[in-house]
Amino acid sequence: MKSNIEYLIREPRIKKEKNPLLLLLHGYGSNEEDLFSFAPELPDEYYVVSARAPYNLQPYGHAWYAINFDADENKFSDNDQARESRDLIARLINELVSNLPIDFQDVTLIGFSQGTILSYAIALSYPEKIKNVVALSGYLNPDLLVSGYEKKDFSHLKMFASHGTVDQVIPVEWARKAPDALKSLGIDVTYKEYPIGHGVSPQNFYDFKNWLENHK
């Protein structure tokens, strides 16, 4: 079954027999060009693939799953759509590994916001597919994980998570819960905060790029 996800791709500048993969997952209301702007700055030996979320938003932009607001402005995520997107991305990884000379043991997810929530969900549900996760401005939603995930082997998995202390979209308190939950599964986690809102500051970018270089 094909994923049918559209994506942009940057070929590795340093070609090997098998190259590692960086898969970029954008946030709600954005598109594949957003995080792809990072591509020229990312390490030369990676395939860099930036995926477009499947749900169209009006007047433009895309989402991995719907977020609805009630009359009191409480947010509700469509967890069924989110789980479908989780599995869609897992299929995309299979396709990329099958069709390109990618090292299936060296796949890194870089997510922002909704893309981070899904990156956590994919890595914890299918840890055999993922080596590293860079989780920017998101949180861990246990409702998106496959049942029995806690019995899986996470010993190889490494994560860099970061958040803005004045994030007005996803409260920093939500993000702060992830490191302990991940460490309890035996996952190696680096967590940093920055004095910014819902975004990626230059220092944040430098830190996660540096972390990537050290976790090849």
Neighbours of 90 (CB within 10 A): 16
167 confidence band (pLDDT: 50, 70, 90): very high
Please list the helix, strand and coil fractions of the chain in percent, rounded to the nearest 5, in that order. 35, 25, 40
What is the per-residue pLDDT across 49-70, written as a single tens digit (0 to 9) for each?
Answer: 999 999 999 888 999 999 876 6
Give the C-alpha separation, 163 to 184, whole Å: 20
Query: 3-7, 41-45, 198-202, 210-214: which range is least confident on average?
Result: 3-7
pLDDT at 76: 81
User: Which residues fall within 8 angstroms of residue 38, CB to CB, at 6 or more apart?
Assistant: 24, 48, 110, 205
Q: How confident is the model at residue 71 (pLDDT cuts 50, 70, 90)?
A: low
| Terminal CA-CA length for the chain | 31
Instruction: Give residue for tokens 């870089």.
Output: 110
Mean model confidence pLDDT for the chain: 94
In the chain, where are the structural domains located?
A: 7-214
**What is the structure's pLDDT at 69?**
67
- The structure's pTM equals 0.95
- Which CATH architecture best describes the domain 7-214? 3-Layer(aba) Sandwich (3.40)
Say how many C-beta atoms besides its own lie within 10 A of residue 5's C-beta.
Answer: 18
pLDDT computed for residue 10 by the predictor: 96
3-class secondary structure per residue, 15-66:
CCCCEEEEEEECCCCECHHHHHCCHHHCCCCCEEEEECCCEECCCCCEECCC
